[in-house]
Amino acid sequence: MAWPWQAGERITAGRLNSLSISAMKSSPQTVNNSTNLVNDTQLFLPGLLPSAWYRIDAMIRYSTPDNADFRMGWTVPAGAIFDWSPRAFGSAVTTTTGDIHSPSLAATDVAVIGGAGGGIVVCRPVGIIFTGVGGTLQFRWAQGTAQLADTIMRISSSIVATKIG
């Protein structure tokens, strides 16, 4: 990575902090009987710089009934290029153990991943984004199959964007 400052330039806490942006969930959010992606109320990263590369690392904690699964995707800044992977259980998994699937997906792709019969599951989406004009990266989610039971995004889910170029 090329450093964002020049020889002799003062390195400040503000400049160092600008290399990373993060968001963490402090309250749960529920979706019931819907496969329509909704913006997560806390998992979004505003202020991504224009024409910059970021590495995205997320830890998503959720619970959903076996037959509902979990649908996830993103909204990206205009002109952005985003390659990502859900790094999660496949949709057939119904327990807290199983094979992890890591397909390569594009910005507009949606992943449907497994639940654990209402138990809390963790997936680790990762990606690389070129921001285009800059702006906000927004995590979106819903049930994979509409069910009357609750699908819940859990406290301490998080997203981190680290500037890499």
Spatial contact of 123 and 57, defined as CB atoms under 8 Å apart:
no
Q: Identify the CATH number of the domain in which residue 45 sits.
A: 2.60.120
Answer whether residue 126 is part of any domain: yes
Closest to 115 measured CA to CA, from 79, 139, 84, 91? 91
Segments forming the whole domain that contains residue 89: 20-163
Answer whether residue 6 is part of any domain: no
Answer whether residue 55 is part of any domain: yes
Answer whether residue 31 is part of any domain: yes
pTM (global) more than 0.75:
yes
Distance of CA 19 to the CA centre of its chain: 18
Answer whether residue 159 is part of any domain: yes
Name the token pair of 71. Answer: 């649908």
Answer whether residue 5 is part of any domain: no
Distance CA 90, CA 115 (A): 9
Tell me, what's the pLDDT at 1? 47
Q: Per mean pLDDT, which range of 3-12, 116-125, 147-156 is the poorest?
A: 3-12
Answer whether residue 8 is part of any domain: no
3 state SS of 16: helix
Give 31-48 pLDDT, tens digit per residue: 999 999 999 999 999 999
Answer whether residue 67 is part of any domain: yes
Is the pLDDT reported for residue 113 higher than 80? yes
How many domains does the chain fold into? Answer: 1
